[in-house]
Structure 1
Amino acid sequence: MIIAILDINGAGLGQNIIKKLKKDLFHDINIIALGTNTFATSKMVKAGAHIGVSGEKAICSFCKKNKVDCIIAPIGILCNGEKDMELCPSICKAVINMDCTKYIIPLQKHDIYIPGTRNLQIKDFIEEIISDIKCKMVIS
């Protein structure tokens, strides 16, 4: 199974997701770190990603040319270039257009609120994503 993780800035979220994936799904997974900058990518690779892809052009090219089973990204991917974000419209479009399952972490940022998520912590979202991935691995 090939899992892509998209993150920005310091990649704290991406690092946590990768560490949890490596701990819980250590067999048969290949993790691709998609960092909007080299710092974010290097942090995710240090956390255990097998391959790192950095920057707008490289991420867009990767998304167009490669097949992944799923991608995990923060909610900013839906904002399409919201101010103060490193996720430019081309990255947002490339990720959303991928033919795979997209797991969106609903961080309460960018004036977006998803009802039902208020009392959940990031670790809860990560656990739910990993549980779903495990189910898909058993089925395939």
Structure 2
Amino acid sequence: MKIAVMDGQGAGLGQTLIKKMRQNLPGDWIIIALGTNTCGTSKMVRSGATIGMSGEKAFCAFCRREAIDCIIAPIGILQPGSIHGEITESMTHAFTQLSCKKYILPVHHPKLLIPCTADIPIKQFIDDIITDLKKVCS
């Protein structure tokens, strides 16, 4: 199984997700950290990612050439200019063109309301993703 985890800024969400995946999923699964910057990418690699890639060019090239089973990303990947300007149009386009399963994390923001998710902690969304990925193992 080959899973990509995309995150930006300090990659706190990506780190949490990768640690949880390493604790609960088979150790031979490949986890690729896709960071919008080198700081975030290195934190995700230290959290257990198999390999990391940073920046717009690396992200877009990865999406074009790699065959992956799924990708997990914050909802900001769907909107160019989000994650404090770290997401570009090229990144959004590359992400939407992927044919693999996509898990979108509805990260809360004061100016963005995703109905029915406001009271659900991000930990629950991560647990739901892990549960879904475990189904592949069985």
Would the TM-score normalized by the shorter structure come out above 0.5?
Answer: yes
Task: In structure 1, list runs of 5 or more residues that go unmatched.
Answer: none
Counterpart residue number, 1:106: 106
Counterpart residue number, 1:47: 47
Give the structure-1-normalised TM-score: 0.93
The residue type paired with residue 46 of structure 1 is R
* In 1: Cα distance, 2:125 partner to 2:44 partner: 18
Q: How does 1:1-140 map to 2 (within 5 A)?
A: 1-82=1-82, 84-109=84-109, 111-138=111-138
The offset of 1:108, in angstroms, is 1.7
SS in 2 for 1:127: helix
Q: Could you give the per-residue CA deviations for residues 28-76 of structure 1, whole angstroms, max 9, x where no partner exists?
A: 3100000011111100000000010111001100110001111000010
Give the structure-2-normalised TM-score: 0.94
| Greater than 6 Å deviation, 4+ residue runs | none
Contact 1:30 1:49 in 2 (8 A): yes
Contact 2:36 2:87 in 1 (8 A): yes
The offset of 1:106, in angstroms, is 0.2
* In 1: Cα distance, 2:71 partner to 2:110 partner: 21
Cα gap change, 1:110 to 1:60, in 2 (>3 Å): farther
RMSD of aligned alpha carbons: 1.4
* In 2: Cα distance, 1:64 partner to 1:131 partner: 28
* In 2: Cα distance, 1:24 partner to 1:5 partner: 16
Task: In structure 2, list runs of 5 or more residues that go unmatched.
Answer: none
The offset of 1:137, in angstroms, is 3.0
Aligned-pair identity in percent equals: 51
